[in-house]
Structure 1
Amino acid sequence: MRRLNNRAFDILLKELDSCSTNDQLSQAEKKIVLKRLQQLRQQDGSPASLEEIREAIVDLFPHFNEKVLKQAAKANQPPGLFSKLKWTAIFLAGSAGVVWVANLPYPMIRWPVARTAPILLLPSYMSMDYHYRQAIAQVEQADQLVNHATSPADFELGAKKVKAAQKHLDALPVWFLGYWPRYTFWFGWQFTLDEFKTARATVGRMDAQLFQEKNAQTQLIQAEQALNTAKQQYQKAQTIAEKQQANASWQAALDKLEQIPPETLAGKQAKTRLKADARDFDKVGGSTLIAAAQEFALQAEKVGENPNLEWEQVQALWQEAINRLKQVSLQDPSYGEAQKLLAEYQTNLGLAQAKRKAPDSSNSDKLITAAKQFAFAAAKAGLNPPHTASEWQQVIQLWQQAIDQLQKIQVQDSTYVEAQKLLATYQTNLGTIQTRMQAEQDAVNALQAAKQAIQQFTASPPSDLNQWNSQLQGIINQLETVKAGTTSYQEAQQLRQFAQKRVKQ
């Protein structure tokens, strides 16, 4: 090691040039000092100290800058441990910076590095491997929880897994796949763009499914609360009017249950509960209406026993009883009983209307009696639906015969007004039955068309996924046009469920 290094010599030389002048004496002194410094540069040994450097200069240049002397002495010392560590750190930081730059998410950087020095991309590969494996694992766990859920808690945990999978998928370098479509490295897996898109689509579908499930669970809770409230109201009801109000609330709650999407877990739970609650409602709904009708009928009979009765009041009571019976739905187990009572009460109403006028033996009374007989036969034939179109046609003919009898009564007859009232009722009933027959015919036609579409689909199923789902959806839409209360409804529902299961995601 030289006693005076080049760096210290350069520092001293600059200051020496500043201190010397152009006269001969100053130049001679400068040469002497330079000679001394050159001797130190050529000598081997320990670095010259500050005192040694000062002795070589200040005797000839007493005003030499002390700061420069100290700076030169410091520069002449060998690097210490801290300096070595500093340069090592600088080197490592520089290397890390190179690796960091090489792993930046820019294809123009990554692609040439991947071709020439792929080892520099090891951090990215490790990150890709980690996020890939985590994303696949989280997607599988989320799929199991969401698509095979048995309780709302499964959906809550599934939502967390979906968010975790989304986070790991977002961390995957999709841009890299566009430049290097297939990557096989030391980890032994292949990461493709199609695989990424499939995972992303699965996560998106489950996210939407979770949103739908959350809404369905909210609907289920609200419907259950409404059902419990309606049942409590019915149990506390003391009068027929209060029971009818409770029944209306009960029916509204059942309608809410039916509106829950059936493909959701809440929809499946609602379907199970709907069967039980609808069965309970049928037991009390129709019976409540029948009880109310019988109460009005009893009042009408009591009023009819009064010698000073007013026939208008009797007619009003029979009409109220009839109105209650008409509210009994077709699906209600009490529908048959209600129809029998309805025919009886309509006959009693007709008798009350006839007694309101002075009795006579005109032909119009016989026509009204005949019309009521046909009406009774028509009401009896329409019991226990659904019926085929031909059976509905027979009911229509009976109502039409009853109407024909009433239409024979002339304006001048004393029973003309009564006949017109019955005529309005019978024409309304005829229109209802005609609608039922048309619905039955439409249902049969729709079911037949759906069956033909199913045969064509089965004979030549499309290979394209979109065409496959489109044709199945068309069949489902066709089957959904088959209305409840028809002979084709049950078979249409079975075929619709079969078609829905064949839809591919």
Structure 2
Amino acid sequence: MYCLNKKAWQILHDEVQKCSGNDQVGKIEQEIVIKRLKKLRSQQGSPAGLDELRDTVIDIYPQFSESTLKQAARANQPPGIFAKIKWATILVSSSAGILWIINLPYPMIRWPVAKTIPILLLPSYMSMDYHYRGVIDNLEQADQLVNKATSPADINRGAKKVQAAKKNLEKLPVWFLGYYPQAYCGLFGCSWRFTLDEFETARQRVARIDAIVFQDQNAFTPFNQGEQILKAAKQQYEQANSTKDREQAIASWQEGIDQLAEIPQGTLAAKTAQSKLKAYKRDFENARIGNFITAAQEFDLAAEKAKQQQPQTASQLWQQAVNRINQVPLENPRYLEAQKLLAFYQGKLQSVVDPHSGRLIEGAKEFALAAAQASQNPPHTDTQWRQIAKLWSTAIEQLQRIRVEEPGYLEAQKLLATYQTNLGIIETRLQAEIESKTSLQQANEQIQSLITAPPSDSQQLKGQIQGIINQLKTIKSGTTAYAEAQTLLLSAQNRLKQ
């Protein structure tokens, strides 16, 4: 006779299919339980009862239907004589009733039994052991799913495991901690001890993981809202037909990015948002800069139409175009394009407002544009930096020729502030190039001297090599000497380790 007959196998197999999930974890759990049932199916011996069937599945599927287990247990019993069934039922019922009374959580009952016949308290300890193991198994799975989550599905699955662990924890009979026997006694001796510290640790761990699940699930609400705002704003921007509509879309776009950036750190939603924010910000910046340029072009077209009949209106429109272009930052890839448009629009503006200062401003912008183009793709030699600085200085000199009483004076001052700042940056780069070139030359001289006359003392040799390393480290990145300095630095560091 097999421990599990065909009918009981089919009943349990169907319920396992209902309890298992569709994800990878669910498939693994299903495979484990099916293997256990197959083992019972092929094992000869007495038919497996309700408790054995329950132990086979309940640690993996706490939600397994009790009625299904009972149905499978009944189906697994061999047919017998009614009289035997009757007397067996009476005997089992009587024994079960006595055991139930003995295992009640009352010291006056348990204490004498624990001192004389502790084996009768075995059901209490088996129940405690079963639920304790359920707490540990469910907490381990919940910990893996929650703390190493890769998707919201992992968080939700972890939440279910935490709830299952909580139910097991509630079933642990803490009331008889301290009553003998304290250890779980099986057929081969007592090997497991359940203490109050273990119970408190498990309860704290359940509370901690439950809190993480709560925070993670809540964090996905602003995450989903932020993504919806971003998608809607991007679609609105692509469909916009005017500057006003595009600016409204950009404002919504910024709102969505701000919402994603404010998601609480440490949550899966925050990690997911951070991995996407870089792309969102890049697209947002491209759209924002593109809107500045497109809006400036639209103002230019409107000004061209109005300049003959309404020169004052044309002047205001070109000023709007200039204001938009001025918002394109220096580090943006479209900066040079913007500077060309800026010089073009400002020339048109000055031709309407003030021809004299307009020519000076236009000339200054030409020098500034040449300087900006020449400074692209660094590093440059000190000679090149001096030429670039000279271009900026010429542009500044042009602007300084505009008098206070001229209409273009205010615009010239704004440009002057920008150009002087850029000149300061170039002078800083020039100084760094000169210093780095000098440091590299000195380092090479030290290396040559060391090769020509190396000291006999190893410590003195290491000291000189360390001095060369320190000299090479002063060479700044972004200079023409930096690449060679890094090669020499690596060689010197390897020589020092020998």
Q: Spell out, residue by residue over 1:304-349, the C-alpha distance to the aligned partner (whole angstroms, 9 max, x if none).
A: 4x2x552x43332222223333445778xxx433443334424542
Stretch of structure 1 that moved more, 288-297 or 229-238: 229-238
Query: Residue 321 of structure 1 aligns with which residue?
Result: 321
AA aligned to 1:251 is Q
Alignment pair present for 1:297 and 2:300: yes
1:288 is the counterpart of 2:291: yes
- Contact 1:217 1:266 (8 Å CA) reproduced: yes
The answer to whether the aligner puts 1:251 opposite 2:254 as a matched pair is yes
Gaps of 5+ in 1: 1-88, 439-485, 488-505
**Alpha-carbon deviations, 1:146-187, whole Å to 9, x = none?**
234444333223212212213333554668778999846436
- What residue in structure 2 maps to residue 154 of structure 1? 154
Change (3 A) 1:119 1:207: same
User: 1:349 aligned to 2:346?
Assistant: yes
Find the counterpart in structure 2 of residue 142 from structure 1: 142
How many Å separate the matches in 1 of 2:235 and 2:100? 77
For 1:356, the aligned partner's letter is: V
Change (3 A) 1:176 1:149: same
Q: 1:372 aligns with which of 355, 365, 374?
A: 365
- Map 1:175-214 onto structure 2 (within 5 A): 183=183, 185-186=185-186, 188-191=191-194, 195-196=198-199, 198-214=201-217
Listed as ranges, the matches of 1:479-494 within 5 Å are none
The CA distance in 2 between the partners of 1:341 and 1:94, in whole Å, is: 89
Q: How does 1:107-126 map to 2 (within 5 A)?
A: 122=122, 124-126=124-126
AA aligned opposite 1:296: F
Structure 2 CA distance for partners of 1:325 and 1:367, relative to 1, 3 Å: closer
Alpha-carbon separation, structure 2, partners of 1:396 and 1:419: 23
Structure 1 letter corresponding to 2:291: T
Q: Please tell me whether the aligned partners of residues 319 and 349 of structure 2 are also in contact (alpha carbons under 8 angstroms).
A: no
Are the equivalent residues in 1 in contact too, given 2:126–2:184 (CA < 8 A)? no
Q: Deviations over 1:291-316 (max 9, x none)?
A: 22112123334444x2x552x43332
For 1:385 and 1:159, the matched residues in 2 are separated by: 54
Q: Residue 223 of structure 1: which of 222, 226, 237 is its match? A: 226
Offset at residue 218 of structure 1 (A) = 0.7
SS at structure 2 position matched to 1:341:
helix
Q: Secondary structure at the match of 1:189?
A: strand
Q: Structure 1 117/228 Cα, relative in aligned 2: closer, same or farther at 3 Å? A: same
Task: Check if 1:423 corresponds to 2:413.
Answer: yes
- From the CA coordinates, give the structure whose radius of gyration is larger: 1
Letter in 2 for 1:226: I
Superposed CA offset, 1:71-102 (max 9, x none):
xxxxxxxxxxxxxxxxxx9xx99994796422
Q: Is the 8 A contact 2:134 2:165 kept in 1?
A: yes
Distance 2:255 2:423 in 1: 26
Q: Distance in 2 between matches of 1:277 and 1:217?
A: 18
Q: 1:101 aligns to what?
A: 106
Report how far residue 222 of structure 1 moved: 0.9
Kindly report which structure 2 residues correspond to 1:336-485, keeping only aligned pairs within 5 A, or say none: 336-346=333-343, 348-349=345-346, 352-353=349-350, 356-357=353-354, 359=356, 368=361, 371-377=364-370, 379-380=372-373, 402-403=395-396, 406-407=399-400, 409-411=402-404, 414-415=405-406, 417-427=407-417
Share of identical aligned residues, percent?
46
Separation in 1 of the partners of 2:272 and 2:115? 57
Residue range with higher mean Cα deviation, 183-192 or 393-402: 393-402
Distance 1:268 1:200 in 2: 28
Mapped to 2, the partners of 1:178 and 1:188 lie a distance apart of 16
Contact 1:99 1:121 in 2 (8 A): no
Secondary structure at the aligned position of 2:163 is classed as: helix
